[in-house]
Structure 1
Amino acid sequence: MRPSLFDFAGGEPAFLALARAHHARCLADPELNHPFSHPGQHPQHVERLAAYWAEVLGGPPRYSESCGDETGVLVLHAGNGDMSDLGRRFVDCFVRAADDAKLPADPEFRAALRAYMEWAVQQVLAHPVRETVPRGAAIPRWSWDGLLA
């Protein structure tokens, strides 16, 4: 049996490195900079992002236990207007951040990460207004083979 994507990546330290690298890449991107540099951002944004991705990709439920469910994540990102190009740029930053964070270069692992992030961006884009976000949505779980039921 294969380890979870979380374990294969290197656990919590790997996801913290990924979140830091991703955040830095988004700040450096001329289009993504604004949403990542606004003054209202949570002071533990990077740590929360790391916990979220870790949980989604097979790690412990630290995000859902301390921050909430998927509804909160989607509400936070809903209603921000047309983000189609931002979504593509976000995925690109994520893929490159995996290199920066020195995550395993295994092609199947990297394909699973990309597939997850492309799916996640589509989930955000599916809710152009907060009123369309389903209530009580659980944090998704993603495996080597995609979304778990």
Structure 2
Amino acid sequence: MTSTGPPSVHEAVGGDEAFLALARAHHRRCLADAELEHPFSKLDQHPRHVERLGAYWAEVMGGPPRYSRECADQSYVLWLHSGNGDIDDLGRRFLACFVAALDDAGIPADPRLRACLRAYMEWAVADVLAWSPTDAVVPDGVPMPRWSWDGLVR
């Protein structure tokens, strides 16, 4: 049976392998950034961080729920990034690395797809930064975000 509707963002990007390539390219760019290098080279980072990041992005974009089944939930993701204080500049740098990594990973250059991915990352950075105050307490049960061609699925 074939699908009759437009492809999901996950499919348009190229599936799980494309998201893994994107996570690898993004991580390399972050390590090469003078400001992002420190948090991205921490010794306590999960040994499969890049693979988990690729699985997370794939799931958010309509792929299989591998991240939430095998790794963690959204509350954990937000908790990992919470309490860091004012990190707005890191957020801007993170976004710039993501946008540049789209080319590095060979993500299709379709303008609609690129705009969708950029809009997601702008939203995701803002979401993480909302939890950056040093006294932030992330609640349990934050739902996994789902992103479509039209933005955040509520």
Once residues 130 and 91 of structure 1 are traced to their aligned partners in structure 2, the CA distance between those partners, rounded to angstroms, is 24
Matched residue, 1:50: 54
Task: Name the stretch that deviates more: 18-27 or 135-144.
Answer: 135-144
Query: Does 2:127 correspond to 1:123?
Result: yes
**Superimposed CA distance per residue, residues 60-115 of structure 1 (whole angstroms, 9 cap, x where no aligned partner):** 00000011211000000001121101000000000110100000100010000000
Q: Distance in 1 between matches of 2:9 and 2:21?
A: 15
CA deviations 1:35-71 (Å, max 9, x no partner) are: 0001001000000000000000110000000112110
Q: Does structure 1 residue 143 correspond to structure 2 residue 120? A: no
Q: CA RMSD in A?
A: 1.0
Map 1:73-92; keep pairs closer than 5 Å. 73-92=77-96
TM-score normalised by length of structure 2:
0.94
Q: In 2, distance between residues paired with 1:114 and 1:123?
A: 14
> Which of 70, 73, 78 is residue 69 of structure 1 equivalent to?
73
Q: Which has the higher helix share?
A: 1
Distance 1:49 1:130, change over 3 A: farther
Contact 2:83 2:136 survives alignment (8 Å) = no
**Can you give the 5+ residue segments of structure 1 that lack an aligned partner in the other structure?**
none
TM-score normalized with structure 1 length: 0.97
The verdict on how the C-alpha distance between 1:130 and 1:41 changes in structure 2, with shifts beyond 3 A counting, is farther
User: Which of structures 1 and 2 has the bigger CA Rg?
Assistant: 2
The amino acid that maps onto 2:140 is R
State yes or no: 1:97 paired with 2:101.
yes
What fraction of aligned residue pairs are identical, expressed as a percent?
66
Verify: 1:13 aligned to 2:4, yes or no: no
Kindly tell me the number of residue pairs found equivalent between the two proteins: 149
